[in-house]
Structure 1
Amino acid sequence: MNFQNRTRGILAALEEHGSIDVHTLATLLQASEMTIRRDLVQLADQGLLIRTRGGAMRVDMAQPFRFEHKAAQRYEQKVHIAQLAAQQIEEGDTVFLDCGSTVFQLCPFIRHKRIQIITNSLPIVSELLGSSVTINLVGGEVDADRQAVHGLMAAQHMQQYRAKRAFIGVDGLSSQHGLSANSEKEASTALQMAAQAEHTYLLCDSSKLERTSYFQFAPLTLAQVLITDAGADPALVTAYQQAGLTVLL
């Protein structure tokens, strides 16, 4: 396959997955990893993609993150997932909620519950003020675009608490590569919440399944339950179940 055809294949893969690693591209395009790395360097020089450690991502993924933009994407699927997630929460639970846009959609379904939440999400705090929910806001440095609290102090804050459940969002979920995020900030929060919870739930719409994002941070075994939407490929659902995840659709 010549460079032009490989270029089309690389850009098509990035359009579909957002980001992808060298090994996957080499297998897909039947080329050596050395060839793919040279191609990525050339395409990055042309401004057609962004090089990452071990692969590449779409140029638009490097643009500034805005919570409200992400929250508007695949809205119906996120609401469906949030409804299923809310059904897992029992009265009296203590629950970690991260700053993911799908996790945010839990708010209208839990505001009547007498539960304690621990969250780094400013939109969740704003949405649940005045409700039956008791709120513990994680302290630390505020990321204005993500509307969330991150950093060393945030991690130390979360280490002081234990919860029955943690609900976290991820930017990519792969049976081979595990969980991935667009930022180390989100990854750090997810890892800390999962470590402090008895049960961890991944809230992940079907567009993120078998997608590898910028930063791979944990195996599938970080969580016990995956909650996704009906658009999930049944073969993928089976694969995740065989990997040990309970899958709720």
Structure 2
Amino acid sequence: MTRDARWKTLLELLVERGRLDVEEAAAELSVSAATIRRDFDRLAEQQMLVRTRGGAVVHGVSYELPLRYKSARRASEKQRIARAVAGMVAPGEAVGLTGGTTTTEVARALAERADLTSASPALTVVTNALNIANELAVRPQFKIVVTGGVARAQSYELVGPLADGVLGQITLDVAVLGVVAFDADQGAAAHDEAEAAINRLLCERAGRVVVAADSSKLGRRAFARICATGAVDTLVTDVAVDDTTVRRFEEAGLRVVAV
């Protein structure tokens, strides 16, 4: 396992558990305790965690893992979800993509579609995510529209009134939301209120709304609400979702696709 892969895994474990011991982390990653101590020290220097005697704890009470540190855990689930979502987009449509690891995979799946290689444009993609715009900008068959705004280091998303101005003047066929939490009662949510506000605008400008979220995000709540469950048309998730969760979303009027 490379150093970057270790760091990503360590940070995700910290987010899940709140605290990690050196010996515990070493056993899980199959490396020496000395290696974990060095990793903890380097991550503490970057203010990604707080060192404790014998381990580390998350930095702060509410913690959002920066996108660049999110690992490939659940990568296969996200890729299956992305392909399913990409298949719901028709040639020539205008698609809104929020930031996040799953929506980044959706962008890649759209770029790989053989029927989206011609026309003018084959697809219009509106996004406030700098990394998604960067990946798709080299595709001449796509028209890429990037909102203005101030970049968030954690998610590479542009937020604020400059983004509001652009989104208020466009119409989308479909908005694809990446979320940190989606609950049948509480709706879709993000960690950051400014990010949630931009995502909400994308929903309001779209004819239909798709939430792309692996099953670990379902039944959870987060600080900033994006939209009510009723504002979403389709939930695309992975096959690990339990039947009770599926039923609750279907009763709320959503189409649920598990892949």
Provide Cα deviations, 1:120-163, integer angstroms capped at 9, x if missing partner: 11111111122121100111112233212111110111111001
Supply the distance in 1 between the matched residues of 2:165 and 2:227 (Cα, whole angstroms): 20
Aligned-partner residue type, residue 84 of structure 1:
A
Structure 2 match to 1:185: 194
Structure 2 residue aligned with 1:76: 76
Q: Contact 1:118 / 1:136 at 8 angstroms: preserved in 2?
A: yes
CA deviation profile, 1:189-233 (whole Å, cap 9, x unmatched): 211000000000001110011111122343201211101010100
Give the counterpart letter for 1:167 in structure 2: V
What is the alpha-carbon root mean square deviation over aligned residues? 2.1
Alignment of 1:35-184 (within 5 A): 62-63=62-63, 65-70=65-70, 72-111=72-111, 112=113, 113=116, 114-131=122-139, 132-184=141-193
Q: TM-score, normalised by structure 1?
A: 0.73
Q: Give CA deviations for 1:71-122 in whole Å, capped at 9, x if unaligned.
A: 6342111111101000001110011011122111012221252100000111
* One-letter identity of the residue aligned with 1:216: R
Aligned to 1:72, what secondary structure does the other structure show?
A: coil
Please state how far the C-alpha of 1:176 moved relative to its aligned partner: 2.2
1:202-213 → structure 2 map (5 Å cutoff): 202-213=211-222
228, 232, 235: which one aligns with 1:223: 232
Normalising by the residue count of structure 2, what TM-score does the alignment of the two structures yield? Answer: 0.70
Q: 2: distance between equivalents of 1:61 and 1:130?
A: 40
Pairs aligned (count): 196
Letter of the structure 2 residue corresponding to residue 138 of structure 1: T
Q: Unpaired segments of 5 or more residues in structure 2?
A: 1-14, 18-49, 51-57, 117-121
Change (3 A) 1:75 1:151: same
In structure 2, relative to structure 1, the CA distance for the partners of 1:64 and 1:209 (3 Å cut) is closer
